[in-house]
Amino acid sequence: MEKTKVPARVAAFDGLRAIAISAVLITHVDPDNLPGGQLGVDLFFALSGYLITSLLLKEYDHFGRVSLKDFYIRRILRLAPALMVFAVVVTGIALARNEPHAWGEFFAVITYTMNFVAAFKLLGDSMSMGHTWSLAVEEQFYLLWPLLLILLLGRARGWLMGATLALVGAGLLSTFALQVMGVDTWIIYFLPTTRVAPLLVGAAGAIAHWRGLPSWSARLVASPWIAVTALGLITAWFFRNTWADAWTWRAGVAVFAALTVLLIVHAIEAPRSLVTRILSLPPVTWLGRRSYAFYLWHAPVLWMTAGPTKSPWMHFMATFAMTAAIAELSWRLVEAPALKLKTRFERAGLPLRAEPSEPHAGALDWPSAKQGSAAQVR
């Protein structure tokens, strides 16, 4: 059983990001018609867990070690420039409007602690940059998972998959325990223990793929019927009222992430399949490539385009058009130049061009009042 060679960049991954951000944007505009679109964040987390782990394992294979310094520098260069521009601009607007807790929010954003601030409402119910909670979860994963992965590779390589799945189980069990104790869904929703399952299900998929899929398994995953079924189930799940569904947070997020991993591996194993080709269409990949900027700017644009006379469809189109324009500027003026600098910290001989998706595409998940929360995306 040979290790599977993963291409440096898979266009269909951008297609998955595009699906995630579209679902979340729709559910924020009209939660009644797409109440489960918030699971776009978990689609993103599964993809991120897969890609981060895949890149680390690839580096370990090539060099027998992982440079944590270079890894963290690459993450900073990918995330920090666009985030700082966003935080400064939105904080400036908030201060001009005399918004409460503007500086508190700024601090929570740049320290990647917004998930805890949101969970325990440390700055109140309504925040200008509350949607960055998912970016905080992602950075907490980036901080801890590489350390644990390196430790397991060096001292307990045979336990790598078992330890990863055990951590998935621990995350799900902790959520179940909190539910049994009567902890509010609002708190459970933002905690990293709730979101560790989709991240590590993605990581487990990368480990399995890195070790090499058995021929029968590779053929099964490459089947177009598997991809269509997984995509259909993910789409159907978006229409489920997940906010009030305890099972979704208890175990469903792991199942949802596993469906995402099936699509990820399918895109690699069957690059010419109909599903892969649809996910790789230029308009779709354009949106996926700019998903980080869409993540950052979609919320403030949503506030600006909101109005009592707008239909959900018109509100969505106005939000999408304005965010797309800002995202293109962010990509050209901020992100692309930072990515050029980032290549200096990519180790020679190792293709690291398969950019892990930060909470660009799915992490715009800030529950609305219609989903059972008192908080508003303002």
Give the whole-angstrom CA distance, residue 304 versus residue 311: 15
pLDDT at residue 3, as a whole number: 57
Do the beta carbons of residue 320 and residue 26 sit within 8 Å?
no
Q: What is the pLDDT of residue 129?
A: 93
pLDDT of residue 309: 62
Q: What is the average per-residue pLDDT within 171-181?
A: 97
Length reported for the chain:
378
Coil, helix or strand at residue 127: strand
Average pLDDT over residues 182-196: 95
Residue 7: what pLDDT?
57
- Segment 272-289 shows an average pLDDT of 96
CB 77 within 8 A of CB 341: yes
pLDDT in tens, 291-314: 999 989 999 898 887 777 668 888
What pLDDT, on the 0 to 100 scale, is given for residue 281? Answer: 97
CA 330 from centre of chain: 19
User: Residue 127 phi/psi, 5° resolution?
Assistant: -135, 145
Residue 361: predicted pLDDT: 38
Q: Each residue of 116-131: pLDDT tens digit?
A: 999 999 998 778 899 9
Q: What is the pLDDT of residue 293?
A: 95
CA-to-CA dists, residue 129 to 303, 312, 320, 376, angstroms = 11, 22, 18, 11
Tell me the average pLDDT across 270-296.
Answer: 95
Predicted confidence at residue 6, as pLDDT, reads: 55
What is the mean predicted confidence (pLDDT) over 343-359? 54
Q: Rounded to an integer, what distance in angstroms lies between the CA atom of residue 250 and that of residue 188?
A: 10
User: What tokens does 144 get?
Assistant: 């801890």
pLDDT in tens, 60-103: 998 889 999 999 999 999 999 999 999 999 999 999 989 889 99
pLDDT digit string (tens) for 7-31?
557 899 999 999 999 998 999 888 8
3-state secondary structure of 305: helix
Is 378 or 91 the better-scoring residue by pLDDT? Answer: 91
More confident residue, 35 or 365: 35
Backbone angles phi, psi at 342, to 5 degrees: -60, -30
* pLDDT higher than 90, residue 263: yes
pLDDT averaged over every residue in the chain: 88
Q: Is the pLDDT of residue 377 over 90?
A: no
- Spatial distance between the Cα atoms of 243 and 368, rounded to a whole number of angstroms: 10
pLDDT at 367 over 80: no
Q: State residue 368's pLDDT score.
A: 43
| Res. 363: pLDDT tops 50 | no
Q: What is the pLDDT of residue 365?
A: 44
The radius of gyration of the chain from alpha carbons, rounded to an integer in Å, stands at 20
Residue 304: the pLDDT is 80
**What share of the chain has pLDDT > 70, as a percent?**
89
Q: Where is pLDDT greater, at 140 or 295?
A: 140
Average the pLDDT over 240-258 and give the result: 93
Q: What is the pLDDT of residue 214?
A: 87
Q: Which two tokens stand for residue 263?
A: 């699509």
Q: Would you state the pLDDT for residue 213? A: 86
Confidence at 366, pLDDT banded by 50, 70, 90: very low
Q: Is the pLDDT of residue 177 over 60?
A: yes
| Structure-model confidence comparison of residues 102 and 344, the more confident one | 102
Surface-to-core class of residue 32, CB atoms within 10 Å of its CB (0-12 exposed, 13-18 middle, 19+ buried): exposed
Residues 6+ apart with CB under 8 A from 156: 163
Q: What pLDDT sits at residue 312?
A: 83
Residue 162 tokens, joined: 């078992």
- DSSP letter for each residue of 186-234: HHHHH-HHHHHHHHHHHHHHHHHHHH---HHHHHHHT-HHHHHHHHHHH
Label residue 5 by pLDDT band (50, 70, 90).
low
